[in-house]
Amino acid sequence: GAGRRAPDAWLAAWVGAGAAAAAALDSVLDAEPAMCGPAVARAVAASVGPGRLLFAGSSSSIRDLDLAGGPPGHQGDHPAGQVTVLANRGLSGIDGAVSTAIGAALAHGGNEDRASVALLGDLAFLHDATGLVIGPDEPRPDLTIVVVNDDGGGLFQLLEQGAPEHAPAFERVFGTPHGVDLAALCAATGTPYALAGTDDELTALLERPGDGICVIEVPITRTDRRALHERIRTAVAAAVDALAGSTS
């Protein structure tokens, strides 16, 4: 019934399984030779401290945060409950992501020395790139937009149509590569831009004080995405099974 406390042993088992799964996930991500979506989400979540805003883009971004971000704000030394997390929802959640993040950051305010953060995929960013075109008399929040750029719809690699037998038609119908130069796009809108190719570079950029709107591009590949998630599933299952075996 309402108000009943979970049995200590039952709760401890789930907490232990969660910790084992998180450690297994970290080991897989740490072993990756290049940046990947979950690793970017992990770094972003770890950077967002108390009183700050995290806006999650649709599709892969919010899923990667759910997978690797812990509760946002819980990766570091601060409790998750002190972080405001927002996202668009629904079938058209990809639309208006940049504008939503900017408006939310304006309304949120937050720490004066640290920017709000938005984690977007390249397609969500491009769908609302004109959201960066802001009149000179309009307010601009301190907002860092992290764009995970896999040149298309990487999420679909994890679905049925991403299987190898569908490869001949996948790129044109689901992958939808665009080849857009994000640095040039940001330059055209007068938006400060930086490129992060490693976890250390991304972490350093996220630690900079807020100074208006800026974009951090993190290029990744999506050709290995399906295999990466299989490695994660295998590692997590093995870790949880080992824990269950040791406590049974």
Q: What gap in Å lies between CA 122 and CA 151, rounded to an integer?
A: 7
Q: Are residues 43 and 29 in the same domain?
A: no
DSSP 76: T
pLDDT in tens, 102-155: 999 999 975 556 789 999 999 999 999 999 999 999 999 999 999 999 998 877
Q: Which amino acid does the sequence have at 64?
A: D
Evaluate whether residue 1 is within a structural domain.
Answer: no
CB distance 129 to 158 below 8 Å = no
Q: Are residues 116 and 236 in the same domain?
A: no
pLDDT in tens, 52-109: 999 999 989 999 999 998 753 344 455 556 889 999 986 666 889 999 999 999 999 7
Q: How many domains does the chain have?
A: 2
CB distance 29 to 68 below 8 Å = yes
Q: Are residues 14 and 84 in the same domain?
A: no
Evaluate whether residue 2 is within a structural domain.
Answer: no
Evaluate whether residue 179 is within a structural domain.
Answer: yes
The CATH number of the domain holding residue 99 is 3.40.50.970
Q: What gap in Å lies between CA 129 and CA 148, rounded to an integer?
A: 14
Domain encompassing residue 24: 7-33+225-248
For the entire predicted model, the pTM comes to 0.88
